[in-house]
Structure 1
């Protein structure tokens, strides 16, 4: 095995992009390598990630359907590409890995221009816009699901199914048993709506829990992420129901809360699914209906098929429907344990390791020749998106 090498990770400014990049960076550093991050101002500010690490903010043009913005976007992309190439002159990366989002585009274009090996990692079950633009040009495509929408058949030879890397604190939960639950024990519910929260969860969840049998409700303890404008109203509602509730706009110790939760009610973002299936926690998922290409519904597909999650479309997400699904999961401890095991079976616990292996193989070998990327289990196009 060669010594220290340099890698650049490029990711958009959301937790869904940054968290898997951070997990990969942590693993590469453990292996003795050096890592630099390219992102935008939002990505650089996400707490608990890349703190004290080398970060570079690049202009990133957003490609919209409005032609009036294309010229400005192109200028920003070209400026970002030039900045990335200057970084590569000094940092000399052996590979550049993109995690989606517009900041990844100029970084990867710069690497392609300079002949640096490249890969993209797709966290969602539908190939994102930037990854679609570059899929035919990069050397490898790492995926998190068996079925991928918007993936072309011609790209399959370079596809590697690795899963979605999660934080080390979440990986450690896999070795812990599912929290014991007796018939009269505390039943812990975690409600999270992603980085921006979810107003629909604040509207429906308290009223849904209110419909549960009193004996069940008295055992409940809730941790819920709320938007700032919702938090006091939700707090009052839980107080009226006599349900202990810990509410916050941001949950800094989310892995710890996940570890002792019996059921999670959440959106179906890629990082959320990865954490649930790594830890083995049953869930009620409410996909974000306006997500691009409805990718959150696609994200939930494998976990739901395994029996580890119940999916409720937002249009059908009512207090009565939530209460019905909660009773199916929570009133029978054996059913809950079974769902937890099925959620665990849908996970890819070695995602970080496998992605790091792929990245190391992708980088330049001795004598400057590229190390071949051997075949690994591949994802396949989803039926509706293979064209």
Structure 2
């Protein structure tokens, strides 16, 4: 096949990315959008007027088109009754956007925005590709899986007939692989760098328990005549820094406490262990960064998807898990003591993370998009 013909075909592709509401949908979609733009393709975005995508998409100078669709899970009876009408309206709005942007491939990343956009794509005879970020598929992707020309998944065996490609993540996280950071833990462990992260909004349960758990950990190691230095980097979430800082001071512990860690790649490179929730992107990022984790899944997550996200790594011997209902300062400190006392386990977890990591997810998703956009390349090749 002529390279010039292939390059021209890719550059002529026009994509409509569908993602909105939360960062879990938006950030992997943006990673793929940037990859497609880097190939010279045209990219537009379908979102809502009130989601996070408003600021994020505008900052990247990608045209944003909005529809009226809203989420309905967990809403009241009246709102659920109005959902079919809102869906129909949003489908017509999405059809208008697809025509205006002249998009030939529609790329959905789940969430309520993708449902009307995916339906509109099929009604207009456009190619539809979807990506599921979690280990439990959302209602939108369960619906669109029946309509899509290509289904991609971050965790294996999430949807029927899907290709396992992982989650597209930030380039600076992927770059950690190339930095060849030597994180092998040697015996005996004299210091432990622990990162605490409850998401951008923080996690009250983790914020409340973690400082006490670290205090207990130090007390337990002193009983067995082990000199262990515990270094803590704690992301509290907005508005929670002062209370957490005061708790560390009360316990006479030194800790780096921040509302939000701007350079999360640097934090991953620094950490020996991370204590965190189990959102899809968090799980994918620490897998690529090869940081052993203690997951505390958010119990209120829809379909308990955070538990299943974490369980995938636990089953592969690459992480530990404590359910929030079982989380106490004692239970967390005992688990940390076990890990700190067994350098072989930490090293094994790190090696298992490397085995299951999919650092090239962004390019893989973009490649699938391009394959759908250039179905005629084979015919062109025969003519050359």
Report whether the alignment pairs 1:53 with 2:62: yes
2:215 is aligned with 1:210:
yes
Q: Of residues 43, 62, 73 in structure 1, which corresponds to 2:83?
A: 73
Q: Which residue in 1 is equivalent to 2:300?
A: 290
Query: Which of 255-264 and 35-44 deviates more?
Result: 35-44
1:269–1:296 Cα contact (<8 Å) kept: yes
Residue 112 of structure 1: how far off its partner (Å):
1.6
Q: For 2:217, what is the secondary structure of its paired residue?
A: coil
Q: State the TM-score, normalizing by the size of structure 2.
A: 0.87
User: For residues 113 and 317 of structure 1, do their structure 2 counterparts lie closer, same or farther at Cα, with a shift above 3 Å needed?
Assistant: same
CA–CA distance in structure 1, aligned partners of residues 56 and 257 of structure 2: 19
Match of 1:174 in 2: 177
Residue in 2 that maps onto 1:325: 335
* Matched residue, 2:33: 25
**Residues 194, 267 of structure 1: 8 Å contact kept:** yes
Q: Which has the higher helix share?
A: 2
Choose which of 193, 196, 199 in structure 2 pairs with 1:194: 199
Q: How much has 1:80 moved relative to structure 2?
A: 2.5
TM-score, structure 1 normalization: 0.86
Equivalent residues of 1:306, 1:345 under 8 A apart = no
Q: How far apart, in 1, do the equivalents of 2:267 and 2:104 lie? A: 38
Seen in structure 2, the aligned counterparts of structure 1 residues 308 and 90 have a Cα distance that, compared at 3 Å, is same
Structure of greater Rg: 2
Distance, in Å, in 2 between the alignment partners of 1:338 and 1:229 is: 37
Could you list the runs of 5+ residues in structure 1 that have no partner in the other structure? Answer: 370-387
Shift of 1:270: 0.5
Q: CA RMSD in A?
A: 2.5
How many residues are treated as equivalent by the alignment?
362
**Alpha-carbon deviation of 1:279?**
0.9
Question: Cα distance, 1:346 vs. partner?
Answer: 2.2
Measure the CA separation in 2 of the matches of 1:189 and 1:47. Answer: 30
Aligned 8 A contact 2:10 2:370 in 1: no
Question: Which is further off, 76-85 or 134-143?
Answer: 76-85
Is 1:225–2:230 an aligned residue pair? no
Determine the C-alpha separation between the residues in 1 that align with 2:190 and 2:43: 46
Is residue 2:307 matched to residue 1:302? Answer: no
3-state SS in 1 of match to 2:299: coil
TM-fit CA distance, 1:210: 0.8
1:36 paired with 2:44, answer: yes
Question: In the alignment, which residue of structure 1 is the partner of 2:19?
Answer: 11
CA distance in 1, matches of 2:58, 2:274: 24
Q: Distance in 1 between matches of 2:58 and 2:329?
A: 36
Q: What secondary structure, in the 3-state scheme, does the structure 1 residue paired with 2:291 have?
A: coil
Check the 8 A contact 1:22/1:49 in 2, yes or no.
no
Q: CA deviation at 1:254?
A: 1.4
312-321 vs 45-54, which moves further: 45-54
CA distance in 1, matches of 2:58, 2:181: 27
1:161 and 2:170 matched: no
Partner of 1:384: none
Query: Deviation digits for residues 322-368 of structure 1, max 9, x if unmatched?
Result: 11111122234443222212222222122112111111112253399
Aligned mate of 1:85, from 91, 95, 102: 95
- Residues 330-369 of structure 1 correspond to what in structure 2 (within 5 A)? 330-366=340-376
1:212 shift after superposition: 0.9
- Say whether the 8 Å CA contact 1:173–1:279 is kept in structure 2: yes
**Bigger shift: residues 58-67 or 298-307:** 58-67
For structure 2, list consecutive stretches of 5 or more residues without a partner in the other structure: 1-5, 380-384
